[in-house]
Amino acid sequence: MSRVSLVVLLLSVSPSISLAWGPPGGGDRLTGRAFATRSEVIARNGMAATSQPLATQVAIDILKKGGTAVDAAIAANAVLGLMEPTGSGIGGDLFAIIWDAKTQKLYGLNASGRSPYELSLAQLKAAGLTSIPPFGPLPVTVPGCVEGWFSLHERFGKLPMGEVLAPAIGYAREGFPLTELIAYYWGRGGRILKDQPNFAATFLPNGRAPKKGDIFRNPDLASTYETLASGGRDAFYRGALTEKMVSFAGRVGCFLTARDFEEHTSTWVEPVSTSYRGVEVWELPPNGQGIAALQMLNIIEAFDLRSMGHNSTEHLHRVIEAKKLAYEDRARFYADPDFYKVPLDGLLSKGYAGERRALIDPKRASRELEPGDPKLRHGDTVYLTVADKDHNMVSLIQSNYRGFGSGLVPDGLGFVFQDRGELFTLQEGHPNVYAPHKRPFHTIIPGFVTKDGVPWLSFGVMGGDMQPQGHVQVLCNLLDFGMNVQEAGDAARFHHTGSSEPTGEKMSDGGQVSLESGVPMESKRGLAQMGHRVRFSSGGFGGYQAIMYDAGRSIYIGASESRKDGQAAGY
C-alpha cells in the first residue's frame, strides 16, 4: 500500500489520528543523537570541510576542475586568508599531513617560520622584558605559509598555481559578505589592533570593523596573490614582495631582514603515531604540540571510558588529569628539534604512559605536577581538510596566532604579520628559549587517523592549547562512545586551562576547567567535588572539521560543527 493510500485509510477510520511523521518523542531528527546539529555529508568523488562555506565551495570547484586535494586545500586556504583573517593569512604559518594514494603513505610538512637573525636573547633582556609581547614588532617571525603552499603544490599539486589562486583573487577584488562568527572576532580584533601600522587602513574600512553581511574587499591582497601566481615562492622570499616587507619591517622596528626571508625553508617531516582502540592516530612532531594528543591517548587507553558514560564525572576527570600530565611534558620538552633533541621515543612509549597514568588519583584533582623523565626510555587558527576522487587526503592547519596576529600590515600587501614569536620563553637553558633563526613552540596541529593501513579520518580542532584536548575528545567520541563523525564534533566539550606553558609559566592551583552547557549538571557538580575549579563558558572550545573515508564502500563522510561558520560539502 502506498503512503498516500495509507493516509486516506487512516483518516477514514479515525479523523483524530495525528499525521506527524517525525521520530517518536518529537523533534526533527530521525536518527542519531539529539545534540547533533545536522546529519553527516556523504559523497563519492571528493569532499571539503572548512570554517567558511565559500571557501568550501571553492575547494569543491577546484576538485571538479581536476585539481588534487592539495590544489583544493591551497585554494581554500587562500580564500580563508581573505575571508577569515581573524585566524589565518599568508603572514602566518602552516602545517599539513597528506595521504598520497599513489605511494600509500603519509607525509608531513612543517611550514613554520623562524625568528629574526638580528634579534637576540640579550637584546630582549636588555630591554627589560621577561616575556615577548603579544603584538607589535617583537613577536614577528618569518611567514611560512607561502613556502608551505609551494612545497605542497610541487609535490602533490596538478593545476597551475594561477588557477588555484584565481578564486581568492576574484573575491578579494569583487568583495564578499562577512559571516557571523568571523564578523564577531573581526570586531574584537579591530578594537585591540586599530592603532598598529596600516591595520585600520586595511581591515577597518570607513573607520570600523565590517559587520555580518557587509561586503569587504581587499585589493591589496588580490595584487599580492597575483604576484604569487606569476612569480612563485621567490616573489615572496627573494623578490618584490620581500623588498616591501623588509622595508616596512625596518620602519616599524621589526627585526626581519632579507636574509631571514632568503634562508627560510619548509621541512618535510615523518608523522608520528600511537595506537588507540584499533587505529593509528598520527600527528606531527615538535616544534608543534601534536604529540600531546598522542600522550593523552596513551594515558587514557587503560581506562574503560565507555562504561563510565560520555561526559560523566569519571570520564571527564580522567581525561582532564591525562591532559595535565601531558601538558607538563609539553611545557618542558616541546621545542625546535634543530636546537634541542626532543625525546620523542620516550614521550610516546606505552611504558612511560603507564608511569604517568599511575599519578592520577581517581577521586581527586591534581594541584601540582612535574614533567616526567622520558629520557629514561632512550628513546587561533583555521583548519581545513580535503579529499579527492583518487583518495588523496590532506589535513591542513594555518594560523597568524592570536587572531589577526601582530597587527602589523606591510605596506600595500593586504595581510598581517604573525606574532608566533610570543611563544618563546626568555628563560635561559629552556629548550624553547628564544634564539635567532629558531622556530618557536607551535600550537597548530593537523590530525590524521589510519585503520588497517588505509586512511580513516582527516581531522582537526583549531584553537590554541585547546587543540590536543579537542583531538582527544573527538577521537574518544568516535572510538569509545560510538558517535558518527558529525556527532563527534558537536558533542559538548571541556577545555582545561592553566597548565604549565612552554613560555615558562607554571600551573597554578591545578588550573581550571571550562565546560560547555551540554555537559550534565551532575558531572559539573561531581568535578567540583573532586577539587576541579569548574567554570561555565560559551567559547574557547575550538573549531572542528573532518572527513572520514569508508574504504569498504569507497565513500567520504564529512562534518563541520556548529561552533564555526563552516561547511562540509562533497560531489
pLDDT at 30: 54
Cell digits of residue 163:
588557477
3-state helix, strand, coil in the chain (%, to 5): 35, 15, 45
Count: domains in the chain: 1
Cell digits of residue 201:
587602513
Identity of residue 567: Q
460-479 burial, b if ≥16 CB within 10 A, otherwise e? Answer: bbbbbbbbbbbbbbbbbbbb
Sequence-distant (6+) residues with CB within 8 A of 15 are none
**Could you tell me if residue 448 is inside a domain?**
no
In a 10 Å sphere around its CB, with 0-12 CB exposed, 13-18 middle and 19+ buried, how is residue 227 labelled? middle
Q: How far apart are CA 101 and CA 282, in angstroms?
A: 17
Q: How far apart are CA 113 and CA 147, in angstroms?
A: 10
**Could you tell me if residue 98 is inside a domain?**
no
Q: How far apart are CA 490 and CA 314, in angstroms?
A: 21
Reported for 401-404, long-range contacts at CB under 8 A and 24+ positions apart, including other chains, are 401/92, 401/443, 402/134, 402/135, 403/86, 403/87, 403/185, 403/188, 403/189, 404/85, 404/86, 404/189, 404/193, 404/199, 404/203
Helices 53-64 and 69-83: crossing angle in degrees, nearest 10, is 150
In a 10 Å sphere around its CB, with 0-12 CB exposed, 13-18 middle and 19+ buried, how is residue 161 labelled? buried
Say which residue the cell 620523542 belongs to.
344
* Region of residue 136 (left: phi > 0; alpha: psi -120 to 50; beta: else): left
Q: How far apart are CA 468 and CA 296, in angstroms?
A: 8
* Residue 567: closest CA among 84, 211, 184: 84
Q: How far apart are CA 329 and CA 371, in angstroms?
A: 5
Q: What does each of the 571 residues of the chain score in pLDDT, given as a tens digit?
A: 444 444 334 334 444 343 343 443 344 555 578 899 999 999 999 999 999 999 999 999 999 999 999 999 999 999 999 999 999 999 999 999 999 999 999 999 999 999 999 999 999 999 999 999 999 999 999 999 999 999 999 999 999 999 999 999 999 999 999 999 999 999 999 999 999 999 999 999 999 999 999 999 999 999 999 999 999 999 999 999 999 999 999 999 999 999 999 999 999 999 999 999 999 999 999 999 999 999 999 999 999 999 999 999 999 999 999 999 999 999 999 999 999 999 999 999 999 999 999 999 999 999 888 888 775 333 357 899 999 999 999 999 999 998 899 999 999 999 999 999 999 999 999 999 999 999 999 999 999 999 999 999 999 999 888 999 999 999 999 999 999 999 999 999 999 999 999 888 888 889 999 999 999 999 999 999 999 999 887 778 989 999 999 999 999 999 998 899 999 999 9
**Could you tell me if residue 232 is inside a domain?**
yes
Antiparallel, parallel or unpaired: β 393-399 and 447-451:
unpaired
Q: How far apart are CA 334 and CA 318, in angstroms?
A: 23
Say which residue the cell 610541487 belongs to.
154
CA angle 397/402/406 to nearest 5° reads: 110
Please state the φ and ψ torsions of residue 393, each to the nearest 5 degrees.
Answer: -140, 145
Please report which helix (H) or strand (E) contains residue 387, including its range: strand 382-387
**Could you tell me if residue 258 is inside a domain?**
yes
Q: Are 448 and 459 in contact (CB under 8 A)?
A: yes
Cell digits of residue 81:
586568508
Cell digits of residue 503:
613560555
Rounded to two decimals, what is the model's pTM? 0.92
Sequence-distant (6+) residues with CB within 8 A of 238 are 258, 261, 262
Q: How far apart are CA 478 and CA 160, in angstroms?
A: 38
Identity of residue 240: A
pLDDT at 66: 98
**Could you tell me if residue 481 is inside a domain?**
no
**Could you tell me if residue 76 is inside a domain?**
yes
**Largest distance between two CA atoms of the chain:** 90
pLDDT at 31: 59
pLDDT at 8: 38
Domain that holds residue 167: 54-92+107-268+382-423
Q: How far apart are CA 567 and CA 81, in angstroms?
A: 17
E runs forming strands in 445-541? 447-451, 454-462, 494-497, 512-515, 534-536
Write down the number of H helices and E strands in the chain. 19, 19
Count other C-beta atoms under 10 Å from residue 1's C-beta: 7
Q: How far apart are CA 83 and CA 55, in angstroms?
A: 8
Q: How far apart are CA 214 and CA 151, in angstroms?
A: 35
Q: Are 447 and 395 in contact (CB under 8 A)?
A: yes
**Could you tell me if residue 336 is inside a domain?**
no
Q: Is 79 helix (H, G, I), strand (E, B) or coil?
A: helix
Q: What DSSP character marks residue 311?
A: T
